[in-house]
Amino acid sequence: MKKSAISLALSDISDEFVLEAAQPKRRSPALPILAAAACVCLVLLCAFALRAGDPSGIAPQPPISGELTVTIPLVDKDIGSPINEACMVAFFIYEGRFYESYDAAPIALRGEKLGTVNGSIDEWSSPTDYAELSGSIGGDFYAVEGYDPGFLLCKDLSDGEVMLYINNRGITVHKGAELFDEGFRLSGSYASVTGMSRYDWFYSTGNFTDLTEHRDVLDAFLAALNEGTFVRTQDILPEGASNVYDSLESHHLYFTKPDGVKVHLRLLDGGYVQPDRFRDVCVQMDKGAFDAVTALMG
C-alpha cells in the first residue's frame, strides 16, 4: 500500500463545505444532477447539482425536532477552478449520483450491466461537461451483487477483478448504521480484521496486526459504531490544527467480508471513526468500545 504526498492530500479535503442540516433521515437530493463542478488541485471532484431558484445547488432543509443530520453536499465552492492532471480521481456520474473509486474486489461480485460512461472528463473540462454518464474514466459499469446500486457500483479491472465505486457525495447521514449496516452490510459479516498504526500505514511498513480472533471486542465495536452519530470532521479539529490526519489519526482498521469487499476505517483520537472516502464526516462512537480495539493494536 504505497502512499504518496498526492494520495495523502486527496484524503485531506477541506471540511468547510460540509453542511449540517436537520432533515428527514436518508433524504435524497430534490432533483437529478444536470451538471457537475470541478475541484481545486488535490481535492475531491464534486458533482454539481442545479435546482430551480437555488443557484448554490443545495436545497433548503426543513428543520425537524430531535434529530441532527450531516449533509455531504454535491457542490464545491471552486466551480470551474483550473486543475491539473494530478487532481483527477476516478469517478463517474450515474442517475444523478457521484461514484468515486473505492477498492478492488473479486470479479464474482459483478452483477448486471447498468450502463456505459464516456470518460470525457479531464483536468480542462468545464462545469457543463459534468453530465449524466460522464466521468474521468470510461467503459461499462455494473451492479455489485448483494449491494444497493445506489451505494456501490463496479467496473472491470484488467487483472480479473472489479473496482468498486462508492456513492459518497450528495448524501445525508445520521447514524453509523446507515453506512456500515445498510450500506456495507458489515454487522456480523466479516471474515477477517486487521489493523495498523498510522506510522505503519503512512510509511507502508506492512506491519499489520491480525485482530480476527477477538470477535467479542470487534462485535462490540461494530455495534457501537452503528449506534454512533455522524459529525463534521472540521468540528473535531484541535485548536490550531489544519486536518485530522496529522493531529488525530492513530490507527487504521480493515474489515474483510466473506465476499471479498474490504471496509477501511480511520480511527481518530477521542473515539471518532472516519470511513475511507468520506473525508468530510466521521462517526462519534462509544469511547470504551473504541479504546478496546485500539488497545489490541498497541
Digit-coded pLDDT (tens) for 156-165: 998 889 999 9
Q: Do both 163 and 193 map to the same domain?
A: no
In 3D space, the residue among 21, 45, 24, 18 whose CA is nearest the CA of residue 33 turns out to be 45
Which H or E element spans position 267? strand 262-268
Rounded distance between C-alpha atoms, residue 270 and residue 284, angstroms: 8
Separation of alpha carbons 135 and 140, rounded Å = 12
Q: What is the pLDDT of residue 67?
A: 54
What φ, ψ does residue 210 adopt, rounded to 5°? -80, 120
Q: What total number of domains does the chain contain?
A: 2
Q: How far is CA 248 from CA 82, 194, 233, 236, in A?
A: 31, 20, 11, 9
- Which pTM value belongs to this model? 0.75
Regarding whether 107 and 31 lie in a shared domain, the answer is: yes
Is pLDDT of 278 > 90?
A: yes
Same domain, 47 and 83: yes
Query: Do 121 and 18 lie in a common domain?
Result: yes
Q: Determine how β-strand 249-256 pairs with β-strand 262-268.
A: antiparallel
* Count of other CB atoms within 10 angstroms of residue 257: 17
From residue 274, alpha-carbon distances to 131, 145, 169, 214, 265 in Å are: 29, 25, 15, 21, 6
Band (41; pLDDT cuts 50, 70, 90): very low
Boundary residue ending a domain (149, 173, 197): 173
Domain span at residue 61? Answer: 5-173
| pLDDT at res. 74 | 67
Task: Provide the 3-class DSSP secondary structure of residue 266.
Answer: strand
| Whether residue 201 is found in the same domain as residue 264 | yes
Residue 135: CA atoms inside 13 Å, Cβ hemisphere, count? 26
Collect all residues with Cβ–Cβ distance below 8 Å to 86 and sequence separation of at least 6.
6, 41, 42
